[in-house]
Structure 1
């Protein structure tokens, strides 16, 4: 597949790679990216395959999203990064941190969809609500992702123990379709993880940017 589209703030600061959720794009991180830049960090906000300016793909395996991101890191010559992901981007970030623990200095998993821990219909609902206003993604991507995340994945759970980076798991609380109890399980499975709850729903970084920034920026810096 062709290289991913991304937004690079430039600068000499330590890099933070930002991965959006399904049916979204790199633009969702504009406000948070500005906060990180103000803290002296370089940000790279990525359009995942099938989203934004990145190419549409023939298939959308979850490991494909991971490999796209690690390939971009190679192209950019980034050996060690902080990694922030929301929803689908959080799952992708978890796969990168499992496969390449030495490349991830800090990990933020916002509203991570846990394999087998939610129904496909409930997970798809937010994407369908966004679809009317946003056409910048391949609907086949979400159909494929929902199908894969609706199935249990014991190996994914086992590999959480291989994540060595300090990890912040962000829950949107009971207003979200991601069960907070499952995110608590994820937190316990990652050796150096802690959980923060900002009870505003699934899109924490958009719905309450002030509290999201207050929790995440100091963690990364």
Structure 2
């Protein structure tokens, strides 16, 4: 089911699947994507979780407010979860969504019980990034691309520092052919690292291996 809610001053559209009595699980997409990036994955996780998959601000059918600080994106998600009455859940997040998930885990440890971070950008300055060239692509706000790129290339030092404060059990899934090295795994206390033969889109390029790694982590960290 597709729903919309007003949270943190904006409209957020989200998909909901699974038994409402099951433990909650949040799926956060990467940059330029939306909840449809998790097609098939929502059904997989809905077998045992109550699944929520929102469109982040500037993406899909959610609002394009013109301001795209990643801390605001994390506040959007927190406000949505508060609106839905979700008080503790598992978060599975890709790329930009993984940054948002980490910021959420730092700011609201009461909400985040477990973290799965798929190919997150590293907690250091990025080099050799090609410039963003706007084309005819739609479904996201190009201003979001420029704003988040600045934050990814030269991250706030508090971003890396905050990773050390994440207390939730964490799995980092890294693509061996990704441009991102998995340094986030070393920055989060006790985080597990699984490397999969894939590029940045691990869940797309190696679906089975990704789900096997995530399911094994969720089974092992179940409480």
Verify the 8 A CA contact 2:18 2:46 in the aligned structure 1.
no
Mapped pair 1:18 → 2:18: no
Q: Secondary structure of the residue that 1:121 maps to in structure 2?
A: coil
With structure 2 as the length reference, what TM-score do the two structures score?
A: 0.88
Question: Residues 26 and 120 of structure 1: is their aligned pair in 2 closer, same or farther, counting only changes over 3 Å?
Answer: farther
Q: Report the Cα distance in structure 1 between the residues aligned to 2:128 and 2:38, rounded to whole angstroms.
A: 25
Is the helix fraction higher in 1 or 2? 1
Q: Report the Cα distance in structure 1 between the residues aligned to 2:132 and 2:122, rounded to whole angstroms.
A: 14
Name 2:208's counterpart in structure 1. 210
Q: Report the Cα distance in structure 2 between the residues aligned to 1:95 and 1:122, rounded to whole angstroms.
A: 26
Verify the 8 A CA contact 1:167 1:192 in the aligned structure 2.
yes
Q: Report runs of 4+ in structure 1 exceeding 6 Å deviation.
A: none
Select the structure with the greater relative contact order (CA < 8 A; seq sep ≥ 6). 1
Query: Which residues of structure 2 form unaligned runs of 5+?
Result: 1-8
Q: Secondary structure of the residue that 2:11 maps to in structure 1?
A: coil
**Shift of the alpha carbon at 1:88?**
0.4
**Shift of the alpha carbon at 1:141?**
0.3
Equivalent residue pairs, number = 210
Name 1:137's counterpart in structure 2. 140
Verify the 8 A CA contact 1:3 1:72 in the aligned structure 2.
no
Is the strand fraction higher in 1 or 2? 2
1:84 counterpart (67, 74, 92) = 92
Q: Report the Cα distance in structure 1 between the residues aligned to 2:57 and 2:172, rounded to whole angstroms.
A: 24
With structure 1 as the length reference, what TM-score do the two structures score?
A: 0.89
